[in-house]
Amino acid sequence: MDGVPCLRVPQCQAQKLRRSLQSKGALDLSLSLVKDSDGTVLLPILASCLSQLDLQSFRTTVASDDACEVVWSKSALQSKKEKGRASGSKLEKVLQELLESHGERWTEELKRDLPRSFQRHGDLVLLGDTCFVLPLWENMDQQLWSTVARGLGAKRLAKIRRISRDGFRSPEVTMLLGEHSWVKHVDNGISYEFDVTKCMFSAGNITEKLRVAGFDCRGETVVDLYAGIGYFTLPYLVHAKASHVHACEWNPNAVEALKKNLEANGVSDRCTIHQGDNRQLQLCGVADRVNLGLIPSSEDSWSVACRLLRRATGGILHIHQNVTSPVQHSTASDAPQKVSGKKADREVWQAWADDTAKHIASLLKDFTGTLWTTNIQHIEHVKSYAPHVHHVVLDLECRPS
């Protein structure tokens, strides 16, 4: 994710929650908090502590409809010690030295070509595709990448260009420095290993993984229709204590990583992997809970999820979706407009959830021949991709009438 991880909280609760974050060692003391124009406050969080954040306890503290969520801010979160100093000053310094050794002069254009953000996975740093694009860098050869690694405190470097359209959402990643591309990432005590050139890892889904980890799934059979490397399969097994998880995944590279991760976390005996298109899954009537973690939409597998629920007792569907809100035009006063925009967002999410609940009830009736009741338990906002595109999760309880 681009930007700095922050906890967005109501202004009236900001100091109380700031002290709480600081006592847990999660507050980034090098950055100043930022007051947003909508009346909320952004509290900067240390990225290393993000996976241990107990978001539910903070929401209980707020105990209102006001915002309390993790966001990735691109706002000017400035250093308390040296406001205006570039966060990549060390990288900039070593690159200046490299250029001077080649008889080149440092320019503002080169400075703008440095990475503004990157992903760190252990000793590997994954750069975006908008940096180091100027022709001058090509003259530095491999010396450039060893210098960049030194400036960023890494041993290996890779660069992601785009997500391929191969149906697997495989990243198009090139290794720039290092012998191999397997990395290890630890979230909430769960170890994920994967090949960065073949599998995706979304840090922005951490709040949903933490929420899943908080479920009580003892005695339950869960089906994860889009398991990937185990993003949600592992929290269901390790923390939510599901009795068994059926993990469906059609990307063979992700399946390889999933097997490794199940073994590494000691839960392989409680998981069955089904490799291939989940629409061809032969299971029926086995699930107490089905996770549909595909965006922008998992609608292609809604009928599969309905078939998987237990006929006698039903269960819960966790349906992920990117929901687009209407564009709010600017006015003279931005703060009231933002508050109005958030209300409009929630109304759109609710409307989508209502339509989805009706659609699922109809699918269940068609499949079983009997009436079912669907109940919207919760709508969770995971993250925003743009001002008007929101990743949400619908918790939908489905019971035979």
Would you say residue 40 lies in a domain?
Answer: yes
Q: Is residue 193 part of a domain?
A: no
Task: Judge if 38 and 101 occupy the same domain.
Answer: no
Q: If you average pLDDT over residues 230-237, what whole number do you get?
A: 97
Distances (CA, A) of 101 to 61, 89, 90, 94, 334: 56, 19, 17, 11, 50
CATH of the domain at 111: 3.30.300.110
State whether 208 and 170 are in the same domain.
no
Residue 386 lies in a domain: yes
Question: Does residue 189 lie within any of the structural domains?
Answer: no
- If asked whether residues 224 and 311 sit together in one domain, one would say yes
Q: Do 287 and 308 share a domain, yes or no?
A: yes
CATH at residue 264:
3.40.50.150
**pLDDT for res 191:** 92
How much is the average pLDDT of 310-314?
A: 97
Which CATH number fits the domain that encloses residue 24?
Answer: 3.30.70.2580
Query: Any residues with CB less than 8 A from the CB of 268 and at least 6 apart, and which?
Result: 259, 262
Q: What is the mean pLDDT of residues 127-145?
A: 91
Same domain, 259 and 351: yes
The residue among 46, 80, 114 that closes a domain is 80
Range of the domain at 219: 202-400
171-192 as b/e, with b when 16 or more CB fall inside 10 Å?
bebebbbbeebbbebebbebbb
Looking at per-residue pLDDT, the higher value among 396 and 4 belongs to: 396
What values do phi and psi take at 207, rounded to 5? Answer: -65, -35
* Of 80, 96, 131, the domain-final residue: 80
Give the confidence band of 369 by pLDDT, cuts at 50, 70, 90.
Answer: very high
Please tell me the total count of domains within the chain: 3
* Helix 55-62 and helix 14-23, axial crossing angle in degrees, nearest 10: 150
- Residue 190 placed within a domain: no
Shared domain check, 355 and 242: yes
pLDDT at 329: 54
Q: Is residue 271 part of a domain?
A: yes
Q: What are phi and psi of 100, to 5 degrees?
A: -60, -35
What end-to-end distance do the CA atoms of the chain give, in Å? 43
Same domain, 279 and 379: yes
243 SS3 class = coil
Q: Is 342 helix (H, G, I), strand (E, B) or coil?
A: helix
Residue 165 pLDDT: 54
Residue 127 lies in a domain: yes
Tracing tokens 């269940």 back to the chain, one arrives at 364
Statement: residue 27 has pLDDT above 80: yes
**139 pLDDT band (50/70/90 cuts)?**
confident
Rounded to an integer, what distance in angstroms lies between the CA atom of residue 271 and that of residue 137? 48
Percent of the chain with pLDDT over 90: 58
Structure tokens, 114: 């440095």
Torsional class of 241: left (φ above 0), alpha (ψ -120 to 50), beta (otherwise): left
What's the confidence (pLDDT) of residue 202?
75
* Span 42-86, pLDDT tens digits: 888 888 788 777 777 777 766 554 567 888 876 646 554 444 344
51 shares a domain with 104: no
For residue 235, the SS3 value is helix
Q: Where is the domain boundary, 19, 49, 80? A: 80
Of residues 115 and 66, more confidently modeled: 115
Residue 192 — pLDDT band, cuts 50, 70, 90? very high
Q: Where are the alpha helices (DSSP H) in 31-190?
A: 55-62, 89-101, 108-112, 142-152
- Residues 102 and 221 both lie in one domain: no
Q: Are 109 and 158 contained in the same domain? A: yes
Are both 288 and 353 inside the same structural domain? Answer: yes
Residue 37 domain flag: yes
Instruction: Kindly state whether residues 215 and 309 are assigned to the same domain.
Output: yes
Burial class (CB within 10 angstroms; exposed 0-12, middle 13-18, buried 19+) of 55 = middle
